Amino acid sequence: MAQSVAAAGTATPASKARRPGGGKSVKRRQVVAGYCFIAPFFVLFLAMIMLPLFYSGYLSLFRTQLVGGTVFAGIQNYVDAIHDDAFLEGVWRMAKFLFIQVPIMLVLALLFALVLDSGRLHLQRFVRLSIFVPYAVPSVVGALMWGYLYGPDFGPFAQAARGVGLSAPPFLSQGWALGSIMNIVTWEFVGYNMIIMYAALRSVPTELYEAARVDGAGEIRIAWSVKIPSIRSAILLTVIFSVIGSFQLFNEPNLLKNLAPNVIDVSYTPNIYAYNLAFVNQQINYAAAIAFLLGFVIMVVSYVVQLTAQRKEGRS
Amino acid sequence: MRRFRRSMSVAAVAASASLVLAGCGGGGGSEQNAPKKAVSQSAIDKAMNTPTTLTFWSWVPNLENEVKLFEKQYPKIKVNLENVGSGADEYRKLRTVLKAGKGAPDVTQIEYQYLSSFVLGDNLVDLAPYGASKIKSQYQSWIWSQVSRNGAVYGIPQDTGPMGLLYRTDLLKKAGIKPPTTWDEFAQASKAYHQKNPSSYLTDLPGNDPGQFVGFLWQAGVRPFSYDGKKTVSIKLDSPEVTKVSDYWTKLIKSGSVATDPDFNDQWYQSLARGKYASWLTAAWGPVFLQGTAKNTSGLWHATSLPQYSGQPVASGNWGGSTDAVLKGTKHEIAAAQLALWINTNEKSAMQLATKQFLFPPSKNVLQNSAWLDQKSAFYGGQQVNKEFAQINQTVNKNFDWLPFQDYVYSAFNETVGKAIAGHGDLTAAVKTWQDKLVSYAKQQGFTVQ
């Protein structure tokens, strides 16, 4: 597809030379038409994302007290946030989440995609659908369901464990809670990532596989040396999405909070912390600063990931 | 790809930022209303005969029945009743619409402990000139002190929650344990019960319910919070009475004789229904919960007063209860005030709230009404539960004040004392940490702390 776009691009100057006098206005009309098509998106983007962003940034430069009103605070909120143990702990927890959950999930997704692509599986469509179904389940429903499964008294794992004489696994205890949440997020998103990789695999020209087979490569060697490098950009896409998603974790811990309110505390993730600062402590300026700092952290990590990927590409 | 990535990060920041944007804080300093002249009856009559639409936010189940009675009495007034969530969920929305300046209801339900935070933001209309000052005699002084400050009345009491002990008669009998009447007996009974039933407990002390724990402090005579209505608060959580309560529970939890599971979640409802907890130290609205979630245990419960401190006069605490308040910015102050007053003080409406919705009545005319007192409850094996709680109600210790940032007080409780409860740690040290957090928050927000 990329090739046909390039071909169309090179074709235009030639056709322009032939068109009598109407070339420039046609081009302008096309440009105007283009802007009109993206205008609805841009209006919404500006109103719903950029404006609140600027307002939030503006808010983060002030400080509102319950007694005494609003004063200009400059970057004091940001300085406080950098020294805030609760915030830093939350970021560190998300970094742990990132380095454990994301590789596991993406390796699984890649594995499933490769297995599906190999064509050796029966009931392809059924398997594909059933791996994807958790993504279609609303995350609220999913988290509540897993909360029940994790229950120390009436959850099935606990009952099974007690049935064989062991004590119930402490899924939502201090040490295990993060792992339990990682499990839920993996279950939810492995299908989504798998579909992206599978779609990329489907568009790899099969001549490459034939060439590799002629050279004597087995299926696994083909997967490792031909398929994975061909879908590198799709894999990078899923990595970036996962990095951003893992730092923004909010839904699953927030829904499980009811079940383990003393483990999943007010600053369990930076997003939960910002939410509680705004709505419980009524410190919206500080919450805005936390949100911006989090965004900055996400930007830095995404950039580093991109850089590493490009350097690897450059080397190969 | 790079452009995509940047817009995704921007979107990420914006997503979290717009979460924040929706929040809001209370206004600046508050000015207390000087007691106004009473509104004349003719002005009230005129307002009640003008076609008006009022919005009423409340989470009381089936409140439409009382609203219908009101509309029958005043056919020109139409009331839009909306349930936007209970407790903290509703307050979040209230603070948002108050900050936005539009979308706020005329009348709203606010629990006692949160009233002062709305008074701080100068969000409530003083109801004294609209007839609220006339109903003062209907309420015990501790209830009135929660809704009235310096002669102004900010909310009409709707229900309260005097605390008692609900226990399973069958489970205690099977374990051969007499229902405890003092805290020492309660501790012994917990140990004995848990020894006989290793997989269940006499009761559960949750790590996420500050309302209950503060109720225990209330019973013990503690007055930890106070707010003068302007800029000064006092936070005293280090008195010997507080230590008495925290030491007691530290010991009991460490002995493993009580559960420390979080409450009001699915797991906890199941536990109550299946007999994991043989009793519940709760308020007068407790029976309603049990009847909903532990239907299968109907007839097996009994209500009595909280365990007492030996040598002290009989006392109880209060846990929860709400008022109806009128928000400033309403275009129909008289009608809104009449709605708040009528729903809670009209005899038929108040009786209905007590007998159909099982709200524990704060007003003397219902508390002394034999039709309500003599109601027998099948869920409690035929006990006249209302009479029991009415007697307990008389022993609720006098005035108790709250801080104007109770959301934070409760959230900080979960972080400190709640964590210690769940982790079987030292509650007394955790209470000290709780106090430190509250003091530093109060100072940071501009209050003077005594």
CATH fold for domain B163-319+381-449: D-Maltodextrin-Binding Protein; domain 2 (3.40.190)
Cα atoms in the Cβ-side hemisphere of radius 13 Å centred on A81: 27
CB contact under 8 A, A279 and B92: yes
State yes or no: pLDDT of A199 exceeds 90: yes
Tell me the three state secondary structure of residue B234: strand
pTM reported for the whole predicted model:
0.84
Evaluate whether residue A41 is within a structural domain.
no
What is the DSSP code string of B88-123? HHHHHHHHHHHHHTSS--SEEEEEHHHHHHHHHTT-
CB B415 within 8 A of CB A265: yes
Instruction: Determine what percent of chain A falls in helix, strand and coil, rounding each to the nearest 5.
Output: 75, 5, 25
**C-beta atoms of A284 and B23 within 8 A:** yes
Residues of A in contact with B119 (CB under 8 A): none
Residues of A in contact with B1 (CB under 8 A): 233, 236-237, 306
* Any B CB within 8 A of A244 CB: yes
Do you know the residue count of chain B? 450
Query: Coil, strand, or helix at residue B376?
Result: coil
For residues A309 and B445, which has the higher predicted lDDT (pLDDT)?
B445
Instruction: Give the nearest chain B residue to A267 (CA atoms).
Output: B415
Contacts of residue A231, defined as CB under 8 A and 6 or more positions apart, other chains included, come to A197, A200, A201, A204
Spell out which residues of chain A touch residue B446, defining contact as CB-CB under 8 Å: 65-68
CA distance B408 to chain A (A): 5
Tell me if A286 sits within 8 A of B412, measured CB to CB: no
**What end-to-end distance do the CA atoms of chain B give, in Å?**
58
Distance in Å, alpha carbon of B65 to nearest chain A alpha carbon: 32
Q: Between vectors from CA B120 to CA B119 and to CA B121, what angle results, nearest 5°?
A: 90
Residues A93, A181: contact at Cβ < 8 Å?
no
- Identify whether A66 is part of a domain: no
Domain that holds residue A199: 80-315
- Coil, strand or helix at B413: helix
Would you say the C-alpha torsion B206, B211, B214, B220 has a positive or negative sign?
negative
Give the pLDDT mean for B31-58. Answer: 82
Question: What is the pLDDT averaged over residues A125-149?
Answer: 92
Least confident of A98-107, B163-172, B378-387: B378-387
What value does the mean pLDDT take over residues A206-212? 89
Does position B436 have pLDDT exceeding 80, yes or no?
A: yes
In contact, A55 and B99? CB cutoff 8 Å:
no
B393: Cβ–Cβ under 8 A, 6 or more apart, which residues? B140, B160, B162, B284, B316, B360, B367
E strand residue ranges, A79-199 = none
Instruction: Please count the other Cβ atoms lying within 10 Å of the Cβ belonging to residue B331.
Output: 10
Per-residue pLDDT band for B367 (boundaries 50, 70, 90) equals very high
A interface test, pick of B16, B116, B209 with most A CB neighbours within 10 Å: B16
Q: Would you give the DSSP letter of residue B165? A: E
Whether the CB-CB separation of A289 and A60 falls below 8 Å is answered with yes
Q: Between chain A and chain B, how many beta carbons pairs sit less than 8 Å apart?
A: 180
Residue of B nearest to A57 (CA): B17
pLDDT of residue A17: 52
Which of B20, B404, B419 has the CB atom closest to A278's CB atom?
Answer: B20
For B91-123, write each residue's pLDDT tens digit. Answer: 989 988 998 888 999 999 999 999 999 998 889
Identify the band that residue B7 occupies on the pLDDT scale cut at 50, 70 and 90: very low
Read off the CATH number of the domain in which A236 is found: 1.10.3720.10
Given the DSSP bridges, would you call strands B301-305 and A69-72 parallel, antiparallel or unpaired? unpaired
CB neighbour list of residue B298: distance below 8 Å, 6 or more residues apart = B291, B378, B379
A63: nearest CA partner in chain B = B445
Contact A66 B22 (CB under 8 A): no
* Residue of A196, A235, A282 for testing the chain B interface, max B β-carbons within 10 Å: A282
Report phi then psi at B303, rounded to 5: -110, 140
pLDDT of residue A19: 55
Please say if the pLDDT value at position A167 is more than 70. yes
Cα-trace Rg, chain B: 23
Give B-chain residues touching A282 at CB under 8 angstroms: 23-26, 95, 405, 407-408
SS3 B148: strand
Q: What angle do CA A283, A286, A289 make, to 5 degrees?
A: 150
From the list B5, B12, B408, the residue facing A306 with the nearest CB is: B5
- pLDDT score of B73: 93
Residues of chain A contacting residue B259, judged by C-beta atoms under 8 Å apart: none
- For domain B36-154+322-359, which architecture applies? 3-Layer(aba) Sandwich (3.40)
Q: Contact, A281 vs B411, CB < 8 A? A: yes
Query: Closest residue of A to B420, CA-based?
Result: A262
Burial B384-413 (b: 16+ CB within 10 A, else e): bbbbbbbebbebbbeebbbbbbbbbbbbbb
| Nearest-by-Cβ selection for A284 from B24, B231, B411 | B24
Q: Would you list the domain boundaries of chain B? A: 36-154+322-359, 163-319+381-449
CA atoms within 13 A on the CB side of A3: 0
Per-residue pLDDT at A22: 61
Q: B-chain residues within 8 Å CB-CB of A270? A: 16
Distance between the two ends of chain A, CA-based, in angstroms? 24
Mutation pick from B2, B13, B277 vs chain A, by most beta carbons of A within 10 Å, is B13
Closest CA to A242 of A62, A107, A92: A107
Q: Would the pLDDT of B61 be above 90?
A: no
Residues of A in contact with B95 (CB under 8 A): 279, 282
Q: ∠A155-A105-A183 over CA atoms, to 5°? A: 15
What are A52's two structure tokens?
């609140």
- For residue B225, pLDDT over 80 is answered with yes
Q: Which of A50, A279, A308 to mutate to test the interface with B (most CBs of B within 10 A)?
A: A279
Q: Which of B2, B6, B7, B9 to mutate to test the interface with A (most CBs of A within 10 A)?
A: B9
Segment A273-284, tens digit of pLDDT: 999 999 888 899
In a domain, A15, yes or no: no
**DSSP-assigned states of every residue in A231-279:** THHHHHHHHHHHHHHHHT--HHHHHHTTT-TTTS-TTSSHHHHHHHHHH
Cβ-based neighbour number of residue A299 at 10 Å:
18
- Cβ neighbours of A67 in B, within 8 Å: 28-29, 120, 231, 445-447
149-208 of A, contacting B, C-beta below 8 A: 151-154, 174
Domain count, chain A: 1
Nearest chain A alpha carbon to B25: A282
Nearest chain A CA: its distance from B347 CA (Å):
37
Q: Is the dihedral of CA A204, A205, A209, A215 positive or negative?
A: negative
In B315-385 the beta strands, taken as DSSP E runs, fall at 322-326
A52 and B21 in contact by Cβ < 8 A?
yes
Nearest-5° angle of CA B71, CA B75, CA B81? 35
For residues B303 and B323, the answer to whether their CB atoms sit within 8 Å is: no
Are the folds of B36-154+322-359 and B163-319+381-449 the same? yes
The residue among A167 and B128 whose pLDDT is bigger is B128
Measured between beta carbons, the chain B residues lying within 8 angstroms of A283 are 25
A85 touches chain B (CB under 8 A): no
Q: Tell me if A240 and B447 make a contact (CB, 8 A cut-off).
A: no
Contacts of A198 (CB under 8 A, 6+ apart): A112, A113, A116, A117, A128
Residues A292, A286: Cα–Cα separation, whole Å = 10
* pLDDT-derived band at B301, boundaries 50, 70, 90: very high
Cα B149 from Cα B110, distance rounded (Å): 16
Question: How confident is the model over B8-38, as pLDDT tens digits?
Answer: 444 444 444 444 433 333 333 334 444 467 8
Return the closest-CA partner of residue A170 out of A184, A160, A157: A157
pLDDT: which is higher, B4 or B75? B75
A62 forms beta bridges with A72
Examine the pLDDT at A188 and tell me if it is beyond 70: yes
In chain B, residues with a C-beta closer than 8 Å to the C-beta of A57 are 17
pLDDT digits (tens, 9 = 90+) for A235-249: 999 999 999 999 999
